[in-house]
Amino acid sequence: MGVRKEKAAGTEAALKDAARQLFVERGYLNTKITDITRAAGRSTGSFYEHFPSKEALLDALMNDLRDQASQELRGQSHPAHPADHDLADREQLRAHLAAAWRTMRDNLPVVLATHEATVAAGPASGQAWQELATGTEMLRDHLEQAHRRGQPLPGDPELVAAAMGAMLSSLAYALLPAGAGGGPARWSDDQILDTVTSLLLTGLRG
Amino acid sequence: MGVRKEKAAGTEAALKDAARQLFVERGYLNTKITDITRAAGRSTGSFYEHFPSKEALLDALMNDLRDQASQELRGQSHPAHPADHDLADREQLRAHLAAAWRTMRDNLPVVLATHEATVAAGPASGQAWQELATGTEMLRDHLEQAHRRGQPLPGDPELVAAAMGAMLSSLAYALLPAGAGGGPARWSDDQILDTVTSLLLTGLRG
DNA sequence: GTCTATACGCGGATAGAC
DNA sequence: GTCTATCCGCGTATAGAC
């Protein structure tokens, strides 16, 4: 890997890379197929040899993300992610939120693009709720287990999980992109995570 | 007002009404200008006599909303909204959240459309943060005042306010639209508000 | 002010040579 | 597999009669 990836990578990979970059810069909806091919140094027609549409490309990017994630999990100390986490413990809650935050930051292009696609699907599609629900499955599991252990919860575990996820992902969308948040980052990741952790753990009464 | 509004209202109003309806049903981005004129029973060309573009129409709808809101405030017992609210008090916090929730529900078309427009503007525009910040100004004021009173907060008031607003508005976008949330409403407004209030007030530890 | 008809451009998608 | 050239549909916007 001497001179970047260059043409070393295949066209498909080049298109993916270009797409990722453009998705963060201009957004998914504003990025046209021709923008992607041009940025990748390929011709328009070449695109369709690899993807039938822009949506298909995004699907592929999401699959890449999933594959990578499950691979990392397999090769690590997490056999299946210990389900006996106690989210009422500050360290564990923060670790959880930090992991989610990091994942979003590391995969910002795909995360942003997916969100844009969801919104573009329209309110009646129900995709917004679905995105929220599937993105907080783990959280919900932990909360349900805690609930079974007798710990009091602010409400239905699924709803609580969704609320927590809503806060985090919405903040991510507003603050993570470069140039967002009103210029140079106002808050560090640590500050944000500390604040959210405290707020979710003990609320305004602290 | 015997047979609905009918043609009694001017064309401009008819276009606005049609737009509002379509924005909730199909979404702002998916709604074409021709869809609006057709739903309003007018011709395509007539649209441009009243609005130069779809964005301008949305602006007009937002202004209508603002005018109405400030009018209601003037005619009521709120001279300027008592700034000495204590959000650490359960009743007051809930009332606040309920008011916000109700406003979003009552003006769902405009709220949804604005959000779609914000997302469509792309991540680098910073509009997402701006929307969040301006939508939580009151909240921030209250928190800053509480902070000045010596009450401990989970973090920077502006960030805390944004986090709270993020949770609420994101839940609204996922749950308020008809057909969202997986069919018939899983949770009542009261359940949702109770849950969010508790979560924000005392956190997971309850 | 409202209509019908139409022009225009953008972007998605394909044809066919190399 | 990649290219160039081109087609086509959709949606915006305008022209001009009524």
Nearest-angstrom CA–CA distance, B156 and A171: 14
Q: What is the 8-class DSSP label of residue A123? A: G
DSSP string, B99-148: HHHHHHHHTHHHHHHHHHHHHHT-GGG-HHHHHHHHHTHHHHHHHHHHHH
- Crossing angle (nearest 10°) for helices B157-175 and B189-202: 160
Both A41 and A124 in a single domain? no
User: Of B12, B34, B51, which residue constitutes the final position of a domain?
Assistant: B51
Both A88 and A178 in a single domain? yes
pLDDT tens digits, A38-87: 999 999 999 999 999 999 999 999 999 999 989 988 887 655 676 678 99
Tally the domains of chain B.
2
For residue A73, the distance in angstroms to the closest alpha carbon of chain B comes to 27
The answer to whether B167 contacts A169, with C-beta atoms less than 8 Å apart, is no
Q: Which residues contact A47 (CB under 8 A, 6 or more apart)?
A: A15, A33, A36, A37
User: Of B31, B51, B71, which residue constitutes the final position of a domain?
Assistant: B51
Is pLDDT of B8 > 70?
Answer: no
Q: What pLDDT does B3 receive?
A: 39
The answer to whether B122 contacts A87, with C-beta atoms less than 8 Å apart, is no
pLDDT tens digits, B155-200: 999 999 999 999 999 999 999 998 777 778 999 999 999 999 999 9
The answer to whether A129 contacts B155, with C-beta atoms less than 8 Å apart, is no
Both B85 and B26 in a single domain? no
The answer to whether B195 contacts A160, with C-beta atoms less than 8 Å apart, is yes
The answer to whether B191 contacts A25, with C-beta atoms less than 8 Å apart, is no
Provide the 10 A C-beta neighbour count for residue B1.
Answer: 6
> Who touches strand C, with Cβ under 7 Å?
A 32-34, 44-45, 48, 52-54; B 10-11, 37, 41-46, 49-50
pLDDT tens digits, B95-137: 999 999 999 999 999 999 999 999 999 999 999 999 999 999 9
**Average pLDDT across chain B, whole number:** 93
Protein-proximal nucleotides of chain C (any atom < 7 Å from a CB): 1-6, 10-16
Protein-proximal nucleotides of chain D (any atom < 7 Å from a CB): 1-6, 10-16
pLDDT > 70 in chain A, percent: 92
**Is the Cβ of B179 closer than 8 Å to some Cβ of chain A?**
yes
Q: What is the CATH number of the domain that holds B180?
A: 1.10.357.10
- Structural domain of residue A96, as residue ranges? 54-204
pLDDT tens digits, A147-186: 999 999 999 999 999 999 999 999 999 999 987 777 789 9
Q: What is the CATH number of the domain that holds B34?
A: 1.10.10.60
Both A144 and A182 in a single domain? yes
Nearest-angstrom CA–CA distance, A37 and A47: 7
Nearest-angstrom CA–CA distance, B205 and B198: 10
Q: What is the 8-class DSSP label of residue A183? A: S
pLDDT tens digits, A20-33: 999 999 999 999 99
**Is the Cβ of A65 closer than 8 Å to some Cβ of chain B?**
no
Q: What pLDDT does B83 receive?
A: 63
**Is the Cβ of B22 closer than 8 Å to some Cβ of chain A?**
no
Kindly report which listed range (A10-24, A77-91, B2-16) carries the lowest average pLDDT score. B2-16
Both B82 and B29 in a single domain? no
Partner residue facing A195 (CB), from B154, B171, B199 = B154
Is pLDDT of A8 > 60?
Answer: no
Residue A3's pLDDT band, with cuts at 50, 70 and 90, is very low
pLDDT tens digits, A99-118: 999 999 999 999 999 999 99
Provide the 10 A C-beta neighbour count for residue B105.
Answer: 12
**Is the Cβ of B41 closer than 8 Å to some Cβ of chain A?**
no
